[in-house]
Structure 1
Amino acid sequence: MTAGFQAWTDSGLVQIDGTSQNFALRQTLSVTTGAGSVNVGKSNAGIQYTLAANVANITVSAVAPLIALYSPNAYATILKCYNNTNGTWSIQIWSSSATTVTVYVFDQSVAAAPSGAGYGLQVFDESGNLIADARQRLARVLDVQSGNIMGAGPGWGQWNQVDLKQYSFGPYTGVSKIGVAAIATAWVSAPAGGNNSGWYNVSALQTVGNTINFQYAYNAVGNTTHPGNNTCFGSQYDWQFLAIDLSNL
């Protein structure tokens, strides 16, 4: 930027640049996953196959949501987040077992502006749009992690089945509670003769205090055989997340 307001953290990172929207907490809700289904493939005749899984389906109001999850008792991830084009978004959350997940909905500062009078600094861009407000609880990004389960590129490929991979991130110092947001989920699946017969691999994250645990695991449903080689896009094995400080939210 050539003019305007700028603010940096103590580590030299730009926190507010006077032009870019910040993301502020708009809503917090507790969601309990339970018996449901996930899509695993569609036939050439247009038949959609599903498998039983622990899921929760929610709808939130937002302009451009950034969804953060806190799930200390199970691995959880977002399988779907799509715009209903009416000011709401539909989200499907998956978990490795039935559990309660805390969902933090962040949105652009201009869309999450607090109502009523208050005190503190406000920052607007050159068009007059609010981009930061001292009354808002902003999403503080602590870390960005990404990878590919197979080390694959975006094109087609064939890889031997991987049943389990686990990583750990943290503990993040100076933080008491951390969440995961903007999740790109690694996903490979196949039906094997109809609904509730097949398998899927999925990456998910468990957040415990200031530590994040990552797991990519194989899930079989019904009468199915263990796969050998998977033929799919290498980008299906991509995963990514943002680590968000939830300590004071």
Structure 2
Amino acid sequence: MTAGFQAWTDTGLVQIDGSSQNFALRQSFSVTTGSGAVNLGKSNAGVQYTVAANVANFTVSAVYPLIALYSPNAYATILKCQNVGTNSWSIQVWSNVAATVQVYVFDQSLAAAPSGAGFGLQVFDASGNLIADARQRLARVLDMQSGNIMGAGPGWGQWNQVDLRQYTFGPYSGVAKIGVAAIATAWVSAPAGGNDSGWYNVSGLQTVGNTINFQYAYNAVGSTTHPGNNTCFGSQYDWAFLAVDLSYI
């Protein structure tokens, strides 16, 4: 950047650079997960197999949504974020037990611009597009974490079954409430010949105050055989998330 406005966080990270869109809070609400269907796989004949799990399905309006979750009572993750129309997105949230999950929808500052008069600093890019507004609740990113459950590459291979893996991130100092966004979910699954019968491994995140707990766990529904190993793409074990400050918003 040769000219314009720049602002840094207290750790030296650029928060506003004068040219890139920031993400601002567009809406927040709670959803409660309950018994529903999760897709496992589809046969060569086009039969879609599903398994019962705790899910919540909902639609949000946004241009470029950044969905953050706060889930203190369950491990939760996003299984689907699908564009279903102009600025319309279908979301599916999973949790390991039925629970209430708080959802925060961030969008580009231009799309989430507050209406009416107000006070504070506004930043525009060289084309005159709003990229930050002091009246907005910006998505303050505190951390980024990523990994692979098996340390595997992206190609096809065979790996030993993992029933449980857990990590803890934080606590993050100076933060009262932290959420997780830009979630990449590790997922390996297999149907067992029909609906409501199969097994799946999934990564989920529990957010409690300023601490994030990670869990990758095995789940089984119906009549199924515990896997001795998995044959899949190594990228299915990939996981990632952004830690976003949700304090006082």
TM norm structure 2:
0.99
1:20-59 maps to which residues of 2 (within 5 A)? 20-59=20-59
The 2-side partners of 1:180 and 1:59 are apart by 19
Superposed displacement of residue 10, structure 1 = 2.5
Structure 1 match to 2:212: 212
1:69-148 maps to which residues of 2 (within 5 A)? 69-148=69-148
The 2-side partners of 1:201 and 1:48 are apart by 19
Structure 2 match to 1:188: 188
Letter in 1 for 2:162: V
CA deviation vs aligned residue, 1:9-66 (integer Å, no higher than 9, x gap): 2222111100000000000010000010100010000000000000000100000000
1:146-185 maps to which residues of 2 (within 5 A)? 146-185=146-185
Superposed displacement of residue 235, structure 1 = 0.3
Superposed displacement of residue 86, structure 1 = 1.6
The 2-side partners of 1:163 and 1:11 are apart by 37
Greater shift in the superposed pair: 114-123 or 10-19: 10-19
The 2-side partners of 1:109 and 1:9 are apart by 18
2:199 aligned with 1:199, yes or no?
yes
Moved over 2 A (4+): none
Superposed displacement of residue 150, structure 1 = 0.3
The 1-side partners of 2:14 and 2:140 are apart by 12
The 1-side partners of 2:202 and 2:129 are apart by 39
The 2-side partners of 1:16 and 1:130 are apart by 12
Letter in 2 for 1:87: N
Letter in 2 for 1:237: Y
The 1-side partners of 2:85 and 2:232 are apart by 31
The 2-side partners of 1:221 and 1:181 are apart by 28
Structure 1: which 5+ runs fail to align? none
Identity %: 85
TM norm structure 1:
0.99
Give the RMSD, CA atoms, in angstroms.
0.6
Structure 2: which 5+ runs fail to align? none
Structure 1 match to 2:9: 9
Greater shift in the superposed pair: 3-12 or 119-128: 3-12
Superposed displacement of residue 71, structure 1 = 0.3
The 1-side partners of 2:164 and 2:242 are apart by 22
Letter in 1 for 2:146: S
Superposed displacement of residue 170, structure 1 = 0.6
CA deviation vs aligned residue, 1:194-242 (integer Å, no higher than 9, x gap): 1111100000000001110000000000010101111110000000000
